[in-house]
Amino acid sequence: MSMIHEILKQLRLWCTDSHERRKDKAYRERLEEQRLQLDCQLTQQRVLRESIDNLKRLGATPKELAAIRSRLLKGHIREKSLMKSVEIHMD
């Protein structure tokens, strides 16, 4: 009886540990996904800022810059919308 009890105890501990490892892995993967999204956003902002700075150096007028910003922003919103729809279909 004692041996069966010990085997069941070990099995219960293994199941509990396995469950905790899965939860930890899911948590770490979620954090990594958030970090990658933030890195991507920062890169996009840096590229946009550098592009606008280059256009200013090349003599773009404030009106031209506003039009370019508007186009880029619309493209960014459309891209985010597409990404959301892909995420929904993947779930």
Contact 84, 76 (CB under 8 A): no
- Cα gap 13→33, rounded to integer Å: 30
DSSP 91: -
Q: What angle do CA 83, 88, 91 make, to 5 degrees?
A: 125
Per the structure block, which two tokens stand in for 74?
């619309």
Count Cβ atoms below 10 Å from residue 50 Cβ, excluding itself: 10
Whether the pLDDT of residue 84 is over 60: the answer is: yes
Amino acid at 41: Q
In terms of average pLDDT, the best of 1-10, 16-25, 69-78, 81-90 is: 16-25
11-56 pLDDT per residue, tens? 999 999 999 999 999 999 999 999 999 998 888 888 888 888 888 8
